[in-house]
Amino acid sequence: MTGDEKIIEIKNLSRIYAMGEVKVRALNNVTLDIKRGEFAAIMGKSGSGKSTLLHQLGLLDAPTSGEIVFGGKNISDISESEKARFRLLKFGYVFQEYALLPELTALENVYLPAMALGRKKEEYLKAGTQVLEQVGISEQADKLPALLSGGQQQRAAIARALANDPPLLLADEPTGNLDSHTSEAILQLFKSLAASGKTIVMVTHERDITTWVSSVVKLADGKVANGSGLYD
Amino acid sequence: MFNNVKLSLFLASKSMMKGSKSTQLLIIFIMSLIFVNLVFIGSIFLGVTEATNNQVINSLYSNVVIEPKKDEKYISDVYSLEQKIKGVPGVVGISSQYVTGATLSYKDKHGTWTVRSIDPDDEMKVTTNHNYLIAGKYLSKLDKNEILLGKEIAGGYGGDLEYSSLGVKVGDSVDVLFDNGVKKSFRVKGIFDANFIQTNTMAYISQKEMESVVGLEDKASQMLVKTRDNGNEDRYIKQFLEMGIKEEIKPWTVYAGMVKNITNSFDMIAMMISAIGLFVAVITIFIIVYTSTISKRRQIGILRAVGIEESIIIQSYIFQAMFIVICGIFIGLIIIFFAIKPWFIEHPLKFPIGLASLLILPERVSMNAISLIIAALAAGFIPSWMAVRKTIIDAIWGE
């Protein structure tokens, strides 16, 4: 499914954190492209900058310098309101620790982004139910997150990320808190999503990830490790 | 826009449903007490002010007072002046009076008070003192050597100036030494308590009696004019002046300096207490919303991370604050109109200026409610705005 069209281009991206008087360069001139339909893994040791890179891609944080180009548009310096719109429409973000809202049921968590788009009630209910079915937990729809297992919560979080059918799914160690069996099921789900045309960028520690993904980006000390960016 | 409001309401309702019900009820109860306090303080002061105004009008000066021209001691041609004024639409009564100082004595006690002379029939159209007899009878037109005493002069009825009273009862004879040196004995015909200390320190005799004392006829020290409605005195005064009346014509408010001071002071106190009440409301709501945003900091970050706009998150907290305040106002209104107001009607407060109850004006209640809602808006907005100022990273993963 991977084509030549770039869905996202990262150009000389740097992120420097000030910790007191010390400046930490979490990302150092990262440049790489991600193609539409790609299932990319970002790997590296702790502190290598992989989560920081994902935060930048998801517009959860602003770069110190550099550009992120999505669909030909530089999105690194757009307004907060535009960023929110991008996160709602273009990106689905999956957190390691699920990040479901505890006062909402699984279904409500899932249809919240669709509701925020202004869809009609029957539409967002239908969309929510469909994605819950897609991730295999439709029977848990009316349960609060606290009553779901870790795997079910992560599936609900993935369903939420898919609710508005975004072209890009960003996942931050989505299997980090799951047992191997459930991790495999989640990776299988991602693989099938990639097969259906979604672009997936996933930060992971999984060593044998290459059997699942179409590309791997290795980061070390805030830089792309092989110097050329993406490699298959 | 509508969708944003819908989403904010959805988030607010979910947050409140998930929250502790007993805590929310307690907070709503606190808001209702703050609202009751705002309305109650204003209303009791308004009630006291109104009671004072009514007392001055109904027992002392009526609506309009006509006094002699400058440099003259008495109004002349009183009868023809009365006829002229009676012809003005809205004038319901006129009481022409002689007013003089006099020393009243009974046995070894004596004191100086104001004595007014009245035509009882006219006076009854102008003041309500005839309704407040606590002993004996009211004066009659043809009464001779009869005097009506306020309870502060008579004594024995628990007045505030009991120490200076004469200690007389109905039927006792008191000696009256008028300012012009004439001395006469009067039988106490009645004692009244108008619930107003200024009225209760007055004595009344009949007009005929006074004319024999001062040796005058068809004159008066003052004429009290009762109008159908209160508050339009200036309009009547204008009409009287246009009719060519040359005497001094004044509204009752000119004589109510004490009332004005009380009213001004009460307004000031009410404003200060209301401001404190509103401040307490703001702080309470601020703390509630602030605590909520602190405990839900991560959730706020997650909402933003999935693409919910900051304004929607802020609105959801404002709606929560509004819900608390509106419920508080609603419960407060029930407390005010079904508990406090009926109780005060049954048990009015007793002041030296008379009996006072709550005067609850709808416009004041609305203003208090609006003030509280605005306070809730501000107190809900500030902490939630502060919360969404954080970066998403800090909100979700920060310390």
Rounded to the nearest angstrom, the minimum Cα separation between A107 and chain B is 13
| Residue A231: inside a domain | no
| Residue A67: inside a domain | yes
pLDDT digits (tens, 9 = 90+) for B374-399: 988 998 999 999 999 988 988 988 76
CATH number at residue A57: 3.40.50.300
Measure CB to CB from residue A81 to each of B6, B17, B309 and give the nearest one.
Answer: B309
pLDDT digits (tens, 9 = 90+) for A179-203: 888 888 888 888 998 998 899 999 9
Measure CB to CB from residue A84 to each of B7, B307, B396 and give the nearest one.
Answer: B307
| Residue A156: inside a domain | yes
Quick check: A118 contacting B, CB < 8 Å?
Answer: yes
Burial B25-39 (b: 16+ CB within 10 A, else e): eebbebbbbbbbbbb
The Cβ of residue B79 has, within 10 Å, a number of other Cβ atoms equal to: 11
ipTM surpassing 0.85, yes or no?
yes
Quick check: A58 contacting B, CB < 8 Å?
Answer: yes
- Residue A14 pLDDT: 94
Rounded to the nearest angstrom, the minimum Cα separation between A57 and chain B is 12
pLDDT digits (tens, 9 = 90+) for A74-108: 998 899 899 999 999 999 999 888 899 999 999 99
Instruction: Report which residue type is found at A74.
Output: N
Domain boundaries, chain B: 2-56+259-397, 64-229
Contact assignment for A58 to B305 by CB distance below 8 Å = yes
Q: How far apart are the first and last CA of chain A?
A: 14
Q: Give B-chain residues touching A89 at CB under 8 angstroms.
A: 307
Count how many Cα atoms sit within 13 Å of the Cα of residue A226 in the half-sphere of its side chain. Answer: 11
Q: Which domain holds residue A219?
A: 6-224
| Residue A232: inside a domain | no
Nearest residue to A63 (alpha-carbon basis) of A21, A20, A25, A8: A25
- Residue A229 pLDDT: 41
Total domains in chain A come to: 1
Q: Which of A15, A16, A80 to mutate to test the interface with B (most CBs of B within 10 A)?
A: A80
Contact assignment for B307 to A108 by CB distance below 8 Å = no
Interface of A with B in 75-94 (CB under 8 A): 80-81, 84-89, 91, 93
CA distances from B293 to A100, B287, B303 (A): 17, 10, 13
pLDDT digits (tens, 9 = 90+) for B10-24: 999 999 888 788 988
Are the C-beta atoms of residues B175 and B105 closer than 8 Å to each other?
Answer: yes
Closest B-chain CA to A92? B306
Token pair recorded at residue B385: 């705005």
Q: DSSP for B303-367, please give it.
A: HHHTT--HHHHHHHHHHHHHHHHHHHHHHHHHHIIIIIHHHHHHSPEEETTEEE-----HHHHHH
C-alpha B299/C-alpha B313 separation (Å) is 10
